[in-house]
A and B are shown apart, each in its own frame.
Chain A
Amino acid sequence: MGIVPDESNLYDDMDGFDNLCFCGALYGMRKVDREAKANMLLEQFHLKQAGKRLFKAYSKGMRRKLTIAAAIIHSPRILFLDEPTTGIDVESARQIRELILKLKSKGTTVFITTHYIQEAQRICDRLAFIVGGRIVVTDTVSNLMENAASGHSIQFITDRPADSLTTGLQARFAGSCVEVKGSALILRSAEQLPLLPVMKYFDDNGIAVFEAKELRPTLENVFVELTGIEAGKLGKEKEKGGGK
Chain B
Amino acid sequence: MMQWIAFWSILKKDIQNYYLKPPNISWGIIFPLSWTLMQLIRSPEGSMLELLPGLIAMSVLFGTTSMLAVTITFERSGRSFDRLLLAPISLNLMVLAKTMGAILFGMFNSIVPIIFVSFFTNLSGVNWGMVFVAVLLIAITSTLLGLMIAVSAKQVFEAQTFANFFRFPMLFLCGLFMPLSALPAFLRPVSFCLPLTYGTDILSGAITSTSIMSPLLCVFALLAFAVGLFSICRYNINRKWIL
Contacts and interface: CB of A to CB of B under 8 A. Distances in A.
Given A26-B9, A28-B6, A10 B88 contact: no
Secondary structure dominating the interface of A: loop
B47 interface: no
Interface stretch (A1-9, A128-136, A170-178): A1-9
Interface residues of A, number: 17
A221 B83 CA distance: 38
Nearest to A23: B83
B232 to A, nearest CB: 26
Given A9-B78, A13-B17, A14-B13, A25 B83 contact: no
Contacts of A210: none
Interface string A181-215: 00000000000000000000000000000000000
A9 B1 CA distance: 26
B243 interface: no
A22 interface: yes
B86 A3 contact: yes
Nearest to B10: A26
B80 A26 contact: no
Contacts of B41: none
Contacts of A27: 2, 6, 87-88
29 contacts: A5-B79, A9-B78, A9-B79, A9-B83, A10-B80, A10-B83, A11-B13, A11-B80, A12-B78, A14-B13, A22-B9, A25-B6, A25-B9, A26-B6, A26-B9, A26-B83, A26-B84, A26-B87, A26-B88, A26-B89, A27-B6, A27-B87, A27-B88, A28-B1, A28-B2, A28-B3, A28-B5, A28-B88, A30-B5
- Top 9 nearest A-B pairs (CB, nearest first) are A28-B2, A25-B9, A26-B87, A9-B79, A9-B80, A28-B5, A26-B6, A13-B17, A25-B5
Interface of A: 3, 5, 7, 9-14, 22-23, 25-30
